[in-house]
Amino acid sequence: MERYQTEYTTIAAPRSDVMRGVYGWMGGGLALTALVSLLTVSSPALLQAILGNRILFYALLFAELGLVVGISGAINRISASTASLLFLAYAALNGVTMSTIFVAYTSSSIASTFMITAGMFGAMSIYGYLTKSDLTSWGSFLFMGLVGVVIASLVNIFLQSSMIYWIVSFCGIIVFTGLTAYDTQKIKNMGNTGRKGAILGALTLYLDFINMFLIMLRVFGNRR
């Protein structure tokens, strides 16, 4: 019995350290995103520059995409400090683009949707961390679902179908809810990979949370 407890403690301690680092960086990234969003909204000139210049807005979106690809693809070649700075830069840049939701939705619905998203995310992340079931088989299913959501969303830009809009929204919620549990278990099983591993894990869960929040906002948010 004592031997079992010692082995369990040896395994569990590094995993808990990894997850603390992941959640710490993720929470810091979300806080920075929220702060930058509020600062952007409080500056009418900056907000107008973003909303009034489509080229600038899309340039910011492509810059975000570039940072995500850069962090994910170069994580083994860059230092932990560089990975940290790139993650914070992405979180701040995302705050600038996400400030536009305050123009489209009421502040109360943004706050309530954030709380709902936080509850769902927390529940699924806890499930992914504690479950003894192997969620590996979810990966291919969720990836296909994600690809389907992206393609359908792009197609609906031209079709403007309300039915497709709602189907895609609810499917998106299901996909990112599942991804939260799947990614949490995957990160837990990574082992202790240091600060760079924590940054990559934080980025993964940050993206799950943000995408779940934005899709939930489309469903539950009250437009101005």
Q: What is the pLDDT of residues 25-83, one digit of tens each?
A: 999 999 999 999 999 999 999 998 898 888 999 999 999 999 999 999 888 899 999 99
The pLDDT value given to residue 14: 58
Q: Give ∠ CA 136-67-95 in degrees, rounded to 5.
A: 100
The pLDDT value given to residue 56: 92
The pLDDT value given to residue 157: 86
The pLDDT value given to residue 170: 94
Sign of CA dihedral 70, 71, 72, 75: positive
What distance separates the 2 farthest-apart alpha carbons in the chain? 67
Cα distance between residue 202 and residue 199, in whole Å: 5
Cα distance between residue 17 and residue 21, in whole Å: 6
The pLDDT value given to residue 6: 42
Mean pLDDT, the chain, integer: 90
Ranges of the chain whose pLDDT falls below 70: 1-15, 192
Q: Residue 201 is encoded by which pair of tokens?
A: 């894990």
The pLDDT value given to residue 75: 87
The pLDDT value given to residue 223: 86
Q: What is the pTM of this model?
A: 0.89
Helix (H, G, I), strand (E, B) or coil at 161: coil
Q: Residue type for 45, please?
A: A
The pLDDT value given to residue 194: 80
